Structure 1
């Protein structure tokens, strides 16, 4: 009979900008516990190959909408519960593995490298023998310490991310393979890990795998992974809107042949570096005015514009009013007969309540936005007709559409990303028949991309400003592209990281 291992699941995920004044609190993680975790992931449920091959025990996972720095209290309370639940699992059964379910770009008050800190605490409970497999976003950050404390570490291979479930399943499948090797008495249970940091820090809007050069760089990952002696290969772009020493691009290749994994890692690292001057934005860019001018002149509708500086799915606070203020100041949209524009979105709890009290069809004057991030613009005052009210959204809680002239502005009780056509149609809006759709986003998610007949990326201000140089990074390692142009001692050699049950030297990264 095949060995039936026990695998725990734990992790916290939040992509956080250090350049936005907002903070992320514990409730934002919407923590899942125990069986709730198994319900979230179909590929480990009973009746599936992975579900039947092991006993999966959920400790706690929390996935927060990207935002500002995680408060220390939030991190401590959630990590303490993870440790408590892992301790209960270890006390009740023999634990073979841990699936570390993270994003990789979580910044916590007073802690650098928060994912490593969390895993280090987990290791103190589960011990050095338990095998750990981490799954991450390719916009995460991978320090040498994090690689050391894991036995397997992998990430998405697409941006926009269409392989999320596939990546997480791969992390679990590879973990089971390691555990089975251990049960079979194979001498080399833990794979070799080759880690190469690359001095590049770029936003996702310049590194989408839909476009070159990222397309051919990521296309090489399966080839390296398919080499004899290699178990997994991964490339992290890194996260550009946090100011920490770990933030940069990284390659990690794992496998059973030391020389092969090192060669594979160096191949991918050189592919990345050789293209460092070729990365460009995924769409035509311009100031917000230039984007609006282009949209009005275009005969292609709907014309999408990214209000990218306050993108809530990149870590923006979501309540910057700069874009909506500029939009409503344009004379073209003052009349209801003007070009139809949808704008998503600005939070305003008091505005929401006033609109709800007045009801659909009422004319109201409301104030919204800039409760958290008032650096670039203050609260916006609008007078318009309440077009629609929706209750019960998982992120926004309540949404109100306010028609101001020919602009249909979406207001929310709490911030929300707008990625799907249904996000609009459920608000009695028809984005396909609109002239212009403006969304706080960076590159267009697949649903929006399919709807857009044309689009531009607005280089707007906010906590996830696409102009990295004006944000003011002070703690990243230098030199770093695109902040620097001279790299006299470029080192893209593979660092073989000791196995998790072996000590890590103090050699500088």
Structure 2
């Protein structure tokens, strides 16, 4: 059965009414993008965010460039956008300041003329100190300024968590269809195209929304493998159905702890019956394969990963071998200074003795350690304590001794970077948080990834360039703020029952609410 509440129709006010001809629609662009682990000791501050306004914000969207069709079909008004790599909760004062800049910018845009649409650029898994449902609060603030008539389109990460408050406020939500997210630009363009087409048509879309009680880590839901590959592969065909505008599956973000943490299916379009049927079918397919989700890479402990790498090398295997230090992955919200893995690697003489395999370990951040290292010169033998100044819950600071082989400045994320070598092991220490998720991240500091026998980096599933590089891989199930063992984290505020935490005596009623 389908709940068709709030399923009324209505035309969208455009600059010259609903007709396709006439003045270009005016569309404001705003957003805040971060993925926040509730279990990370890190707090996202102003330095963590890169702020874009004016032409710099428009430059984020190549499809809006002069000469591109979408760029000329609407008047795009850049308001404010801030983006951070994933981390912990956002400091409340930082969120409030950015929210105020968005509200103020939108108010200025409204004062200059009618706003027909808002292009909202948000992740979907932002958490803020002392607040529940941060994106819901943000979109409510946007609505307070622009009013109920303008359409809102949102380009999002498939690891977002959608609340009812958010879903009811956003007419055209869509999300990535690939993990790793190789379709970011395509998704942002789709969200913009959906909005422009609707404003030109002068019609309001319906959306069919299904909450699915599943909460899984991203490393078990990569679209490189089944069943996620097949599920997300169905979306273009659903989108091509007459009466459908867009189809999306949010698999959710497992390291937050709010009632909105769960999977979500939304299908938008003109025909309420069609979109409801398609949304319910997608939700049923997702539920049917819930037990088939498994880690995208060969899992194991850190020691098992090292043993496999050493065996791979001894057997003449090509290099490098990759180990994901998944528990403190900054790309999923890890703090970035957990030393648990580095300490254990330093204790393995097979890696730290003369003639040992070339091993890169990325990374821990520690401004105090960097100050001490930058007071020395390359070639010096150093003795420094590093890491665990923000998050020392699973391990304390590491005692790092060896030869200082690299000092680098100017990285926009990491700030200053030092490399310390003990035997074959090269430990990377940064001034600020950084995810070493691409081959270029290593090459930029003089470490050739192709010359390494083993690369251990704080990551979950391998991003494209590392995936292509790896000649072997272990997804190490290490402890930290984004621990893959979700039950070890202890969620308290998610709605229950929830797969895989609870048994379901009967399948849930996956009914669509049509808005």
* TM-score, normalising length: structure 2: 0.94
Residue of structure 2 equivalent to 1:298: 312
| Range moving further from structure 2, 372-381 or 290-299 | 290-299
Question: Does 2:190 align with 1:170?
Answer: yes
Residue of structure 1 equivalent to 2:6: none
Supply the distance in 2 between the matched residues of 1:390 and 1:485 (Cα, whole angstroms).
Answer: 52
Residue of structure 1 equivalent to 2:364: 346
Residue of structure 1 equivalent to 2:93: 73
Q: Structure 2 matches for 1:73-92, cutoff 5 A?
A: 73-92=93-112
- Contact kept, 8 Å, 1:238 with 1:247, in 2: the verdict is yes
Residue of structure 2 equivalent to 1:431: 449
Residue of structure 1 equivalent to 2:399: 381
Cα deviations by residue, 1:155-203 (Å, 9 ceiling, x for unpaired): 0000000000000000000000111112xxxxxx111110011111001
- Counting matched residue pairs gives 491
Supply the distance in 2 between the matched residues of 1:171 and 1:234 (Cα, whole angstroms).
Answer: 12
Query: Could you say what the CA RMSD is over the residues aligned between the two structures, in angstroms?
Result: 1.0
Q: Show structure 1 runs of 4+ deviating over 6 A.
A: none
- Contact kept, 8 Å, 1:347 with 1:412, in 2: the verdict is yes
Residue of structure 1 equivalent to 2:348: 330
Residue of structure 1 equivalent to 2:498: 480
Cα deviations by residue, 1:38-60 (Å, 9 ceiling, x for unpaired): 02211112211011111111111
Q: Structure 2 matches for 1:307-456, cutoff 5 A?
A: 307-456=325-474
Supply the distance in 1 between the matched residues of 2:342 and 2:47 (Cα, whole angstroms).
Answer: 28
Supply the distance in 1 between the matched residues of 2:225 and 2:507 (Cα, whole angstroms).
Answer: 30
Which blocks of at least 5 consecutive residues in structure 1 are unaligned? Answer: 183-188, 498-509
- Contact kept, 8 Å, 1:102 with 1:136, in 2: the verdict is yes
Supply the distance in 1 between the matched residues of 2:328 and 2:140 (Cα, whole angstroms).
Answer: 33
* Shift in Å, 1:489: 5.7
- Contact kept, 8 Å, 1:341 with 1:437, in 2: the verdict is yes
Question: Does 2:83 align with 1:63?
Answer: yes
- Contact kept, 8 Å, 1:107 with 1:113, in 2: the verdict is yes
Supply the distance in 1 between the matched residues of 2:259 and 2:505 (Cα, whole angstroms).
Answer: 17
Cα deviations by residue, 1:355-381 (Å, 9 ceiling, x for unpaired): 222121111111111011000011111
* Shift in Å, 1:287: 1.2
* Shift in Å, 1:487: 4.3
- 289, 293, 301: which is aligned to 1:275? 289
Q: Structure 2 matches for 1:107-186, cutoff 5 A?
A: 107-182=127-202
Supply the distance in 1 between the matched residues of 2:323 and 2:442 (Cα, whole angstroms).
Answer: 15
Supply the distance in 2 between the matched residues of 1:402 and 1:212 (Cα, whole angstroms).
Answer: 40
Supply the distance in 1 between the matched residues of 2:274 and 2:416 (Cα, whole angstroms).
Answer: 54
Residue of structure 2 equivalent to 1:100: 120
Residue of structure 2 equivalent to 1:224: 238
* Shift in Å, 1:2: 4.1
Residue of structure 2 equivalent to 1:185: none
Residue of structure 2 equivalent to 1:238: 252
Supply the distance in 2 between the matched residues of 1:102 and 1:136 (Cα, whole angstroms).
Answer: 6
What SS class does the counterpart of residue 358 from structure 1 fall into?
coil
Which blocks of at least 5 consecutive residues in structure 2 are unaligned? Answer: 1-20
* Shift in Å, 1:3: 3.0
- 287, 292, 308: which is aligned to 2:301? 287
What SS class does the counterpart of residue 176 from structure 1 fall into?
helix
* Shift in Å, 1:210: 0.4
What SS class does the counterpart of residue 138 from structure 1 fall into?
coil
Supply the distance in 2 between the matched residues of 1:285 and 1:356 (Cα, whole angstroms).
Answer: 37
* Shift in Å, 1:335: 1.4
* TM-score, normalising length: structure 1: 0.95
- Contact kept, 8 Å, 1:26 with 1:78, in 2: the verdict is no
Supply the distance in 2 between the matched residues of 1:337 and 1:350 (Cα, whole angstroms).
Answer: 31
Cα deviations by residue, 1:239-298 (Å, 9 ceiling, x for unpaired): 000110000000000000011000110111111111000000011111111111111111
* Shift in Å, 1:305: 0.3
- 200, 219, 234: which is aligned to 1:205? 219
Supply the distance in 1 between the matched residues of 2:470 and 2:507 (Cα, whole angstroms).
Answer: 44
Supply the distance in 1 between the matched residues of 2:33 and 2:463 (Cα, whole angstroms).
Answer: 20
